[in-house]
Structure 1
Amino acid sequence: MPMDWVESGGGPLLAAPASQLARWEGATDDEGPEETWGDYGRACAIDGYIGLVGIGGGQGLVLGDEPATTTYLPDERLFVRWAAADSESDLVDAARHAVHGVEWQEELDWDVDGAVVLFDSAWPGATPEPGNHLNIDLSPGRYRVRAACERDDRNWMILVQLQPVS
């Protein structure tokens, strides 16, 4: 069964708390320097695979580095970011295998109050691009977010995993 994927127009993707979604304004001005691009500029300023950005009373998780098409595997609590692969099924299978032995390169803690929405950070949260966002059901709490770039002979992906912190 084909999976749902979120694509970027060239910048980072954002997993924003559903409760704070309307507070994300997206790109307010993309003609001037990055710091004038509004919330989108703040997401673009994140250096690395992952980072946090304030949204209202919460935090959004920025998926940075590459504007890679991304899906979410709920059983593994894993964002899979497609850099290169022959097929969706090959990439997803490789990601499910790789997550057990990958050397994580970045980590941070992220507090969420429940469900989040993954979308292109250039769009306003109140109206994410139709057909290009994912609703992700998360339990409220703190998560350890780990990220790594992983390659094998046929697939290249960025993995971002959420682990509940007790």
Structure 2
Amino acid sequence: MVRYAEPGAVEWVESGGGPLIAVPETVLPFWTGADGEETDSDYDRACEVDGQVGLLPVGDSTALVLGDEPASTAYLPDHGAFVRWCAADSEDEVLARVPAALDAAEWQPEVSWHVSGPVLLFDAAWPGSASDRAPDRVRVALEPGRYAVRAAEVRPGPETWLSLVHLRRLADR
């Protein structure tokens, strides 16, 4: 696999060309990736997500698909956001531009995502039961509950282009 992100300050996750998926750990065994036995695999369902984010049922929960572009992606807990590196000269450049990008973003409509706790971000082609062997994966320690999820593409500098997926914890009902 070609590496676009440099090793450095944060863990970057890359795919083999398709979408990334954030699956709640409690339902990882139910995500079949590209190995599904039915006509359309879970990976096929993830590829059908139109736009930057989408939700797919997995077991008795829901996974978050990061679609649109197979960009190197990191989760920045201080910002509550997945940052997708579409274009920039360096990791330092990407990370330095995130605060301004979050402020300048023109967000798409929010979706509501309920999670039971931590999620694992990895290439949607991998089955959840084998995600521990995926070359790139990162555990995102989310608190159980509902989150508002919104996405935006931002160009915070002349040579910098980011896709952002922002998570905001919603009050429990």
Give me the TM-score of the superposition, normalised by structure 2. 0.88
Q: How many residues align?
A: 161
Partner Cα distance (1:36, 1:68) in 2: 27
Q: Could you tell me whether the CA contact under 8 Å between 2:19 and 2:66 is conserved in 1?
A: yes
Describe how 1:95-106 pairs up with structure 2 within 5 A. 95-106=98-109
Q: Secondary structure at the match of 2:153?
A: strand
- 5+ residue gaps, structure 2: 1-7
Pairing 1:10–2:17 present: yes
- 1:24 aligned to which of 24, 28, 31: 31
- The code of the aligned residue for 1:11 comes to G
How far 1:37 sits from its partner (Å)? 4.1
Q: Which residue of 2 aligns with 1:143?
A: 147
The alignment's C-alpha RMSD in Å is 1.4
Partner Cα distance (2:57, 2:14) in 1: 22
How far 1:154 sits from its partner (Å)? 2.0
Greater per-residue helix proportion:
2
Partner Cα distance (2:99, 2:46) in 1: 28
Partner Cα distance (2:54, 2:61) in 1: 13
Give me the TM-score of the superposition, normalised by structure 1. 0.92
- The code of the aligned residue for 1:93 comes to A
Pairing 1:124–2:127 present: yes
Q: Could you tell me whether the CA contact under 8 Å between 1:68 and 1:82 is conserved in 2?
A: yes
How far 1:96 sits from its partner (Å)? 2.3
Q: Which residue of 1 aligns with 2:51?
A: 48
Q: Secondary structure at the match of 2:104?
A: coil
How far 1:163 sits from its partner (Å)? 0.3
Sequence identity (%): 49
Deviations 1:112-156 (Å, cap 9, x if unpaired)?
010000000000111124440000000011000010000121210
- 2:161 aligned to which of 156, 159, 163: 156
- 1:88 aligned to which of 88, 91, 95: 91
Partner Cα distance (2:99, 2:129) in 1: 32
- 5+ residue gaps, structure 1: 30-34
